[in-house]
Amino acid sequence: MNINRLALIFVFLLGIFIGVAGGGAAGGVAGYLVSRQTAAEVSATVSALKSQPVTTSAVSPTQPTTGSATVPETVVVSLSDAMVEAVKRVAPAVVTVTVESSTGRGSGSGVIIRNDGYIVTNNHVVDGGQRYFILFADGTRRQARLVGTDSLNDIAVLKVDGEVPGVAQIGDSAALQPGETVLAIGSPLGNFRNTVTAGVVSALNRSVPGSGMEGLIQTDAAINSGNSGGPLINLKGEVVGINTMVVRNDFGFGSSAPVEGLGFAVPSSIFANVADQIIATGQVRYPFLGITYLMIDGEVAAQYNLPVQNGAFISAGLNGQSAVLPDTAAAKAGLREGDIITAVNGQRLDANTSLRQLLLQYRPGDTVELTILRDGKEQNVTVTLGERPSNLR
């Protein structure tokens, strides 16, 4: 009788042990399979990652574990993986643009933005051209026609007939942050097509003196001759800018110090609107206030003793041009020299948002409400926008 009871107890304890051990083993197998499945899912969507590596682990190495828990395999998705996937996504849509004119041949870069063959590049790439050719990433060549240009924002649109090898997705440049990783793709010197360079967003909403351009993305990604017109992309593989210029020692800033890593791109918040207008009508109709102004930053605020750090300060031009042009929308609305525009229809001007960016959301003839600061007091002014004269572009 005692022997039978001992045998029964032994079998009972053995069953418990097997159950616990089996459960732990099953948990370990399940954790491993889940970890592997997670790795596959992350790899499949790595193009949507931001700039920081992602580490997945169900259990921290410092956490105590119970008998039924195991530490699954840790999966690390690196920044370089995200960059590779982003380039794969957009590379088929990047092209080399060759321009023939009476004075010779030039080249630049471009990106296909629609499956019916529309390509965005820079105005200065196609300027003066007579015939245009597109070299695709796979080496095939096709003639293109010029749809229209915009010298103010240095944007042009070309079109090719037939199927295209890829179409880039346009992203939201307003979501960019300084320090965020970005990639430039283009054909430096016209020969090294689909060259990829990497950098960060150095700053947003930049103006380059002498260019007449504002709201630009500043990046330190290497941009060389021939890269103009190519895309600046985020790590989702979306086009957030069109590379337009790089500042070097001969740019006219009066400094002999070496200049490196000063590239600029037209943000998608501007070029997408411009391209849509060119595709629809062959031209761009700009809303026009009729003022000369300075975008305010800390330096401008200090120089003119302004009460705010952001906005558009209405001031006379360097060539003696009136701050408020006669018989324009601004003059009719009663804007004055010294006024500071702080918002358009409630959208504030800030370090990342220029006046031009906000006005490009509207068309000539639209009525908008400007928030202005005058004599230290904020007030609203209703303005019916005019159309920018062609001789000012």
**Residues 172 and 196: beta-carbon distance below 8 Å:** no
Instruction: Give the active site residues.
Output: 124, 154, 228
Burial letters 262-295, b for 16+ CB under 10 A, else e: bbbbbbbbbbbbbbebbbeeeebebbbbbbbbbb
User: What's 70's DSSP letter?
Assistant: -
DSSP structure class, residue 190? G
Residues 78, 79, 80, 84: what is their CA dihedral angle, to the nearest 10 degrees? 110
CA atoms in the 13 A half-sphere facing the CB of 282: 3
Q: Determine the Cα–Cα distance for residues 124 and 141; give it in Å rounded to an integer.
A: 21
Are 109 and 95 in contact, with CB atoms under 8 Å apart?
Answer: yes
Nearest Cα residue to 93 out of 280, 249, 242: 242
Q: How many CA atoms lie within 13 A of 363 on its CB side?
A: 6
User: Please, are residues 315 and 391 in contact by the beta-carbon 8 Å criterion?
Assistant: no
